Chains A and B, each alone.
Chain A
Amino acid sequence: MNRENSGYTIIYASVMVIVVALGLAFTHQVLSGRQVANENTDKMQQILRSLNLDVSVAEAPAKYAGLIKNAYLINDEGVKVEGSEGITPDDPAFSTELGDEQAKGLPVYEADVDGSAKYIIPMSGAGLWGPIWGYLAIEADGSVVYGAEFGHAGETPGLGAEIVTASFSNRFRGKNLFKENEFTSVAVVKPGQTNSRRDYVDGISGGTITSKGVDNMLLNSVGRYKNFLMNLHASAQ
């Protein structure tokens, strides 16, 4: 058989590609169940970390189911979308990604920590090298931050990547998203600087652009929940 023949080359390439495609499709099919489960558990861990709870992979699903009492989508007016309730990974609140144009609303999780309600909202934004995201847990009054959790795809280790550490996210505890009944969110400032118009936390030294990204995310991503938070804020007063 002549190996340099064009017909042979084309057939060889086609057969090879089909075999490889079948093999990969099979692998994906077999493993996708576990992969989705891993992603869901990871998301649950992040949500729990925003409640200042660092739980292991094994405990996360049970802890999540125990603490999160309700989850739903809200529309731009901050009103619950009918029929969107449910906390399991298949329900709309959990499966809706922020920034999805097709989404019917913005996800909100309601947690019950020692008898007091907390509202958890997801955030997404841009860091220096790629996307950053996070979860913000807010007290029942819709204004005081109970806890925060941040994640990133590829920020600089030791600098921007420090936003995932507890020492950074703990700085947000107790900060107020409202100032004189205006939604101002929480600012991230250069360490040592202050901001008189908004509550603020220190950013990461050497991670200026990532810190700025977190600042923008807190303003824009949380800002989309402004009406929802206003409603909570108004009813609490």
Chain B
Amino acid sequence: MALSSKTKAVLWGPLNKNNPVIVQVLGICSALAVTSKLEPAIVMAIAVALVTAFANVIISLLRKSIPNRIRIIVQLVVVAALVTIVSEVLKAFAYDVNKQLSVFVGLIVTNCILMGRLEAFALGNGPWPSFLDGIGNGLGYGWVLVVVGFFRELLGSGTLLGYKVVPQALYDAGYENNGLMMLAPMAILLVACIIWVHRANNKELQEETN
């Protein structure tokens, strides 16, 4: 299916120039909390992408019927229902990951990216662009999580997805895992580093300096 340039922008924008985490700085809370290992970061990324996409579609389909006065409540109910379903499915099919994510699956409800997309996009656009917008924003959030999770697990535990990647010889030579990587402050430093690299490569995002 060929995408028009407008739909392409809807899908790819959030991955780069309009990224929810590193440009809009939304959804930071969970980005710090679930990225100490790569696996929960990936699962969280998929979960958020699915929830944003389907919440966007549902709200977009209902947008002509939702009473304006209770539209935030309707959005919250839709998001909460989807998150509950995701959490139930994880409990049934990925119990271990669900244990690691613990409360953060439930907290997807409060992820600002979701409400932001519903208010800003789904209420004014059709289901298909809304779906792409949801996927785009979910993945835009997700890739930052995965990059942060990758470095935190590699440097903090010497493993990736639970497999040992730092060779024993290196430990014998005196290398040690960086325990600070396991704590939230390192996550925010890593996010800051990603923002730094991203801004350096995108001149139009840089603020004017006088």
Contact = CB atoms under 8 A, between A and B. Distances in A.
B95 A38 contact: yes
Count chain B CB atoms within 10 A of each CB in A8, A41, A57, A158 and give the residue with the most. A158
Interface stretch (B85-93, B116-124, B143-151): B85-93
A20 B74 CA distance: 11
Interface in A24-58: 24, 27-28, 31, 34-35, 38-39, 41-42, 57
A35 B91 CA distance: 6
B84 A13 contact: no
Contacts of B78: 20
Interface in B41-100: 65-70, 73-74, 77-78, 81, 84-85, 88-89, 91-93, 95-96, 99
Interface string B166-186: 000000000000010011000
B66 A28 contact: no
A167 to B, nearest CB: 13
B156 interface: yes
A157 B36 CA distance: 8
B176 to A, nearest CB: 13
Interface in B95-138: 95-96, 99, 102-103
Contacts of A158: 36, 156, 179, 182-183
Contact of A8 (B36, B67, B77, B179): B67
A41 B95 CA distance: 10
A16 interface: yes
Task: Report, as a range, how many residues of chain A touch the other chain.
Answer: 20 to 34
Contact of A9 (B36, B69, B85, B102): B69
Contacts of A41: 95
Nearest to B64: A3
B68 A154 contact: no
A154 B91 contact: no
A65 interface: no
A13 B88 contact: no
A131 to B, nearest CB: 12
A17 interface: yes
A23 interface: yes
Nearest to A156: B183
Contact of B67 (A4, A38, A39): A4
B81 to A, nearest CB: 5
Interface string A169-209: 00000000000000000000000000000000000000000
Contacts of B183: 156-158
Contacts of A157: 36, 182-183
Contacts of B73: 13
A3 B65 contact: yes
A179 B26 CA distance: 57
Interface of A: 3-5, 8-9, 12-13, 16-17, 20, 23-24, 27-28, 31, 34-35, 38-39, 41-42, 57, 153-154, 156-158
28 contacts: A3-B66, A3-B67, A4-B67, A4-B68, A9-B67, A9-B69, A12-B65, A12-B67, A12-B70, A16-B77, A24-B81, A27-B88, A27-B89, A31-B88, A31-B89, A35-B88, A35-B91, A35-B92, A35-B95, A38-B95, A39-B95, A42-B95, A42-B99, A154-B102, A156-B183, A157-B36, A157-B182, A157-B183
The 8 closest A-B pairs by CB, nearest first: A158-B182, A34-B92, A38-B95, A31-B92, A9-B67, A20-B81, A157-B182, A35-B91
Given A9-B69, A31-B92, 16 more contacts: A3-B65, A3-B66, A4-B68, A9-B67, A12-B66, A20-B77, A23-B85, A27-B85, A27-B89, A28-B88, A31-B91, A35-B92, A154-B102, A156-B183, A157-B182, A158-B183
Interface of B: 36, 65-70, 73-74, 77-78, 81, 84-85, 88-89, 91-93, 95-96, 99, 102-103, 156, 179, 182-183
